[in-house]
Amino acid sequence: MGVGHPDIDIEAEIKHEPMRAQFDRRLISQALTNIIKNATEAIEVVPAEELGKGRIDVIAARENDDIVIDVIDNGIGLPKVSRARLLEPYVTTREKGTGLGLAIVGRVLEDHGGRIELNDAADIRPGARGAWMRLRFAVSGHAAKVEVKEPAAETKVTAPETAERADATNSESKIEAATGG
């Protein structure tokens, strides 16, 4: 399993080239990896007869002073718990989940002057199954108040390429997110 999953097509598109931004390459890469890992896991639980072909679209664009990266999958879709809860640490609906993936993404984006937005794929593709995660961060690379300790890498936004597990924890603790509520 992982980002190089043979049964999932991952398509990356950069809307406005060249797109330059300042950000911590390691942290933003980890955020994207967490999001794509979640998308992969959401696709894996769709019954084969319903799935068709697993697909993850990654679309990066510039919106005023923000970089916006949309990750749209055709997985099982977000569970019916409040989206704010899914961003909390240790909230997971997965047997082996840590519930840390989205919490880390939220934190990284906040530290870059942005946020994560959780939506349904159907919000932009009527009738579609799956989740639509929108990652937003400032082109300038950091929130106004945050002191940048290391120089942020000036780098072009590129397609994610890593396949490693990236929740950045060994913690096994979790809280089951209530479903259907």
Ligand X SMILES: Nc1ncnc2c1ncn2[C@@H]1O[C@H](COP(=O)(O)OP(=O)(O)O)[C@@H](O)[C@H]1O
- Site residues for Mg ion per CB under 5 A: 38, 101
Radius of gyration of the chain (CA): 16
- Binding residues for ligand X, rule: CB under 6 A, are 34, 38-39, 42, 73, 75-79, 86, 91-94, 97-103, 131
Q: Where are the alpha helices (DSSP H) in the chain?
A: 25-44, 48-51, 83-86, 101-111
In whole angstroms, how close is the CB of 131 to ligand X at the nearest point? 4
- Closest separation in Å from C-beta 87 to ligand X: 7
Minimum distance, C-beta of residue 114 to ligand X, in the bound complex (Å):
17
Asked whether 174 and 92 are in contact (CB, 8 A), the reply is: yes
Which of Mg ion, ligand X, none interacts with 131 (beta carbon under 5 to 8 A by kind)? ligand X
CB closer to Mg ion, 75 vs 101: 101
Q: Of 93 and 140, which has the nearer Cβ to Mg ion? A: 93
Tokens representing 55? 């697909």
Q: What single letter denotes the amino acid at residue 121? A: A
Across 77-99, b (16+ Cβ under 10 Å) vs e yields: bbbebeeeebbebebbbbeebbb
* Choice between 121 and 152, CB closer to ligand X: 121
At closest approach, how far in Å is the CB of 131 from Mg ion?
12
Nearer to Mg ion, 89 or 113 (CB): 89
Instruction: Determine the Cα angle at 89 with ends 177 and 93, to 5°.
Output: 25
Residue nearest to Mg ion (CB): 101
Q: How far is the CB of 180 from ligand X (least distance, A)?
A: 13
115 binds, among ligand X, Mg ion, none (CB under 5 to 8 A by kind): none
* E strand intervals along the chain: 8-14, 20-23, 54-63, 66-73, 91-92, 115-120, 131-138, 153-156, 175-176
Decide whether 110 or 143 has the Cβ nearer to Mg ion: 110
